[in-house]
């Protein structure tokens, strides 16, 4: 088991389509996290930026951009790009610096102003980029992959489009209670069924939007936290950043094909399952210990998949868990009480940090109307393009 | 644009991958530089045609026009395009492709047998870009 680090502060800029520069969102989130931690920017020894890619390089959407905006003060800087897992890898980098004694207190920031419409690769002819290829050769957008997963669940487990809609109904009900969420309206199953099909069998309200937003956390050593009057802070006990194992036999974005299992048998568990298992092992806990989970519900159907990959239920039993109310607020294991991506939309480098913000508030008992009573242990899970895995476990 | 991904015409049309001479791993799209099996010392990667037929692993469609770099004619209204992810048994892999023109999700089911056929991705005055399509067996265009 790895040593723990403290979450001293958490902050967000509300998600939406605000039409401003991403730096504004990141700085607002960073200042909120610093205030929450009771620290000044000058107290921070290192800043880590979760990046995104613009014009083919992570460039200005990086750690130093936030450091400059906050005012150059000489802090150590790190910039991390790992697609949707960027935020978790930024937290991992902060933890590594703290545990290595390179910094006592670290600010982690992620923010983005997402382009309108479908995500798409950077410009130019780049046939060596699998993301460029899937768009150029196939026109395979992200929803196409979500549709493939959803249809596969229907064939394998008997899930129905109405089951998928119920995930949206649940998450929108919780997002309605979250002042940082972009969508604050409750959605009915009829509204999901009445929205346009985007990628059969998924409809517009089954698929998350793209958003602007920002999130930040202040992490420190346990010694620093105690010295700062925080005897029992929220602590990060595990950060899983594993890659898949060959042969990866689930068709993952942005690939056009899976690895072939003709020479080597596939691993016993899928990539997504290995992401969460690694986190559990590092934390020394199991799914039965969880109070809540925040997972990447890029589509409603994908949230059901995460239930199984988190070990909350057996394979194919995700719908049953949902129907039993176990994953709703007040249920045995609430999932996406923040409202999830269904209510936030994607602001890629911010979202994995936002998940940890939600855990922090929940574990401190400061989540207001969406508070999970007595929350002690929370997990986040996501998967980033190109084989980036991510899960964080926080405890109180 | 992407050279050597398929070969042949008519009934001889095949997707083209590569196979490692040391461990027999197959790659598609073709891997020409290093075998990606972590336990393989590395062998020669030689072109290998993939199975012509397979079974539907899953399917979906795109009801909205995909963004660039996908090339479409904005003058024409967007016709939903179906996608099929196909399980090739001998290769033990899944390969995604567009369904042949005219094939809709209503005609598809997981487990259905499909075959690879030549298709056109896009054409303008000077160039025709060819591609592969998946089509249920027994259906003729
Ligand atoms: Zn090999």
Looking at the structure, tell me whether residues B67 and B120 fall in a common domain.
yes
Handedness of CA A99, A8, A392, A80 (dihedral sign): negative
When divided into structural domains, chain B yields a total of 2
Q: Minimal CA–CA distance to B85: which of B63, B128, B117, B54? A: B54
Tell the burial category of A371 from Cβ atoms under 10 Å away from its Cβ (0-12, 13-18, 19+): middle
Query: Strand, coil or helix: what is A6?
Result: strand
Same domain? For B8 and B65 the reply is no
| Domain A130-203+236-395 is found in CATH 3.40.50.720 | no
Check residue A134 and report its DSSP letter.
I
Tell me, yes or no, whether B72 and B60 share the same domain: yes
Q: What is the pLDDT of residue B57?
A: 98
- Residues A5-117+212-232, CATH architecture: 3-Layer(aba) Sandwich (3.40)
Contact B24 A197 (CB under 8 A): no
| Chain B interface, best mutation among A133, A139, A261, by max B CB count within 10 A | A139
What distance, in Å, lies between the first and last C-alpha atoms of chain B?
26
For every residue of chain B, which 3-state class applies, written as one string?
A: CCCCCEECCHHHCEEEEEEECCCCCEECCCCCCCCCCCCCCCCCEEEEECCCEEEEEEEEEECCCCCCCCCCCCCCCCCCEEEEEEEECCCCEEEEEEECCCCCHHHCCCCCEEEEEEEEEEECCCCEEEEEEEEECCCCC
Dihedral in degrees, nearest 10, Cα atoms A143, A149, A154, A159: -80
Chain B neighbors of A148, CB-CB under 8 A: 57-60, 83, 85, 96
Within this chain, do residues B121 and B103 fall inside the same structural domain, yes or no? yes
Q: What are phi and psi of B75, to 5 degrees?
A: -70, -30
Please list every residue in chain A whose beta carbon sits closer than 8 Å to the beta carbon of residue B28: 256-257, 260
Report how far residue A240's alpha carbon sits from residue A247's, in angstroms, rounded to the nearest whole number: 20
pLDDT of residue B141: 60
Stretch B93-120: mean pLDDT: 97
Position A58 scores a pLDDT of 62
CB count within 10 Å of CB B77 equals 7
- So what's the pLDDT on residue B98? 98
Backbone torsions φ then ψ of A116, nearest 5 degrees = -70, 150
**Phi, psi at B63, each rounded to 5°:** -85, -10
Same domain, B41 and B56: no
Closest CA to A334 of A394, A378, A293, A391: A293
- B88 plus B129 within the same structural domain: yes
Q: Residue A145's pLDDT is what?
A: 98
Q: One digit per residue, pLDDT tens: chain A, 396 residues?
A: 679 999 999 999 999 999 999 999 999 999 999 999 999 999 999 999 998 876 556 666 689 999 999 999 999 999 999 999 999 999 999 999 999 999 999 999 999 998 877 888 877 888 888 999 999 999 999 999 999 999 999 999 999 999 999 999 999 999 999 999 999 999 999 999 999 999 999 999 999 999 999 999 999 999 999 999 999 999 999 999 999 999 999 999 999 999 999 999 999 999 999 999 999 999 999 999 999 999 999 999 999 999 999 999 999 999 999 999 999 999 999 999 999 999 999 999 999 999 999 999 999 999 999 999 999 999 999 999 999 999 999 999
| Cβ pair A118:B67 closer than 8 A | yes
pLDDT at B125: 87
Rounded distance from Cα A263 to ligand 1 centre (Å):
8
**8 Å CB contact between B14 and B116:** yes
Which residue in the block uniquely carries the two structure tokens 């259906």?
B139
Q: Which of A362-366, A383-387, B63-67, B136-140 has the lowest mean pLDDT?
A: B136-140
Same-domain status, B79 and B20: no
Instruction: Rounding to the nearest 10 degrees, give the CA dihedral for residues A181, A187, A192, A195.
Output: -70
Predicted TM-score (pTM) of this structure: 0.96
Q: Which site among B55, B72, B89, B92 would you substitute to test the A interface, given the most A Cβ atoms closer than 10 Å to its Cβ? A: B92
Residues B36 and B102 in one domain: no
Residues 6+ apart with CB under 8 A from A360: A7, A10, A217, A234, A394
A151 and B58: CB-CB below 8 Å?
yes
Compute how many other C-beta atoms are within 10 angstroms of the C-beta atom of residue B33. Answer: 8
The domain segmentation of chain A, as residue ranges, is: 5-117+212-232, 130-203+236-395
> What's the half-sphere exposure (Cβ side, CA atoms, 13 Å) at A33?
37
User: The complex's ipTM?
Assistant: 0.97
Token pair in block for residue A256 = 């056009």
**Same domain, yes or no: B46 and B106:** no
Is the peptide bond between A254 and the residue preceding it cis, with omega within 30 degrees of 0?
A: yes
Residue B139's pLDDT band (cuts 50, 70, 90): confident
Residue B20 and residue B81 in one domain: no
- What integer pLDDT is reported at residue A60 of this predicted model? 67
Q: What is the pLDDT of residue A1?
A: 62
Could you say which DSSP state residue A135 is in? I
More confident residue, A276 or B140: A276
Neighbours of B113 (CB within 10 A): 12
Smallest CA–CA distance, residue B11 to chain A, in Å, is 22
User: Over pLDDT 90: what percentage of chain B?
Assistant: 85
What is the pLDDT, as a whole number, of residue A56? Answer: 58
Residue A304 main-chain phi, psi, to 5 deg:
-60, -40
> In the 8-state DSSP scheme, what is residue A3?
P
Q: Quick check: A186 and A173 in contact, CB under 8 A?
A: yes
Query: Taking a C-beta distance cutoff of 8 angstroms, is the pair B46, B21 a contact?
Result: yes
Considering the domain architecture, whether residues B39 and B77 belong to the same structural domain is answered as: no
Gap between the Cα atoms of A202 and B112, Å rounded: 21
pLDDT reported for residue A125: 87
Distance from chain centroid for Cα A263? 34
How far is Cα A140 from Cα A153, in angstroms, rounded to an integer? 19
Task: Say if A122 is an interface residue toward chain B (CB within 8 Å).
Answer: no
A219 touches A94 (CB < 8 A): yes
Domain that holds residue B78: 52-140
Q: Are residues B78 and B101 in the same domain?
A: yes
- A149 CB neighbours in chain B (<8 A) are 58
Nearest C-alpha in A relative to B20: A263
What span, in angstroms and rounded, lies between the C-alpha atoms of A98 and A6?
10
Q: DSSP assignment, residue A136?
A: I
Q: Does A278 touch chain B (CB under 8 A)?
A: no
User: What's the gap in Å between B40 CA and the centre of ligand 1?
Assistant: 5
The yes-or-no answer to whether A5-117+212-232 and A130-203+236-395 have a common fold is: yes
**pLDDT (0 to 100) of residue A117:** 79
């Amino acid at each position: 088991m790895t040593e723990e680090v403290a979450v001293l502060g958490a902050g967000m800029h509300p998600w939406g389509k605000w039409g401003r520069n991403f730096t504004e969102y990141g700085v607002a989130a960073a200042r909120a996290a610093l205030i929450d931690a009771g620290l000044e920017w000058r107290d921070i020894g290192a800043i880590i930026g979760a990046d995104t890619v613009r014009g083919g390089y992570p460039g200005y959407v990086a750690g130093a951009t936030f450091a400059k905006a906050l005012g150059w003060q000489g802090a150590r800087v790190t910039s991390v790009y790992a697609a949707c897992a960027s935020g978790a890898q930024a937290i991992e980098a902060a933890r590594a610096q703290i545990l290595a004694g390179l910094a006592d207190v670290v600010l982690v920031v992620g923010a983005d102003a997402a382009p309108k419409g479908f995500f798409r690769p950077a410009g130019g002819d780049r046939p060596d980029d699998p993301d460029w290829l899937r768009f150029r050769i196939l026109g395979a957008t992200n929803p196409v992959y979500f549709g493939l997963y959803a249809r596969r669940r229907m064939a394998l487990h008997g899930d129905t489009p109405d089951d998928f809609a119920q995930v949206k109904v649940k998450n929108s009900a919780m997002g309605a209670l979250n002042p940082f969420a972009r969508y604050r309206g409750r959605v009915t199953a009829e509204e999901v069924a009445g929205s346009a099909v985007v990628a059969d069998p998924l409809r517009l309200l089954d698929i998350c939007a793209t958003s602007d937003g920002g999130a930040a956390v202040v992490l420190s050593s346990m010694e620093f936290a105690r010295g700062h009057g925080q005897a029992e802070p929220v602590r990060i006990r595990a950060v899983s950043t594993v890659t898949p194992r060959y042969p990866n036999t689930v068709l993952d974005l942005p690939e056009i094909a899976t690895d072939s299992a003709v020479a080597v048998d596939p691993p016993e568990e899928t990539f997504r399952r290995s992401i969460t298992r690694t986190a559990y092992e590092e934390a020394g806990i199991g799914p039965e210990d969880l109070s809540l989970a925040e997972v990447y519900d890029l589509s409603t159907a994908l949230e059901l998949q995460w239930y199984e990959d988190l070990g909350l239920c057996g394979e194919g039993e995700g719908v049953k868990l949902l129907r039993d109310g176990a994953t709703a607020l007040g249920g045995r294991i609430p999932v996406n009480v923040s409202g999830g991506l269904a209510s936030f939309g994607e602001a890629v480098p911010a979202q994995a940090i936002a998940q940890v913000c939600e855990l922090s508030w929940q574990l401190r008992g400061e989540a207001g109307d969406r508070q999970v009573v007595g929350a002690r242990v929370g997990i986040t899970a996501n998967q980033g393009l190109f084989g980036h895995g991510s899960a964080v476990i926080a405890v109180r | 644009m992407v050279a050597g991904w398929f070969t042949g015409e008519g009934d001889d049309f095949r997707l083209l991958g590569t196979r490692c001479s040391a461990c027999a791993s197959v790659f598609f799209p073709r891997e020409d530089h290093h075998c990606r099996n972590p336990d393989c010392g590395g062998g020669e990667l030689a072109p290998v045609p993939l199975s012509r037929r397979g079974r539907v692993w899953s399917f979906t469609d795109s009801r909205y026009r995909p963004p660039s770099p996908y090339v479409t004619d904005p003058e024409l209204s967007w016709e939903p395009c179906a996608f099929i992810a196909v399980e090739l048994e001998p290769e033990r892999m899944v390969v995604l492709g567009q369904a042949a023109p005219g094939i809709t999700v209503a005609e598809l089911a997981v487990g259905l047998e499909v075959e690879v056929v030549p298709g056109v991705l896009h054409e303008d005055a000077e160039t025709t870009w060819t591609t592969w399509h998946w089509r249920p067996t027994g259906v003729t265009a």
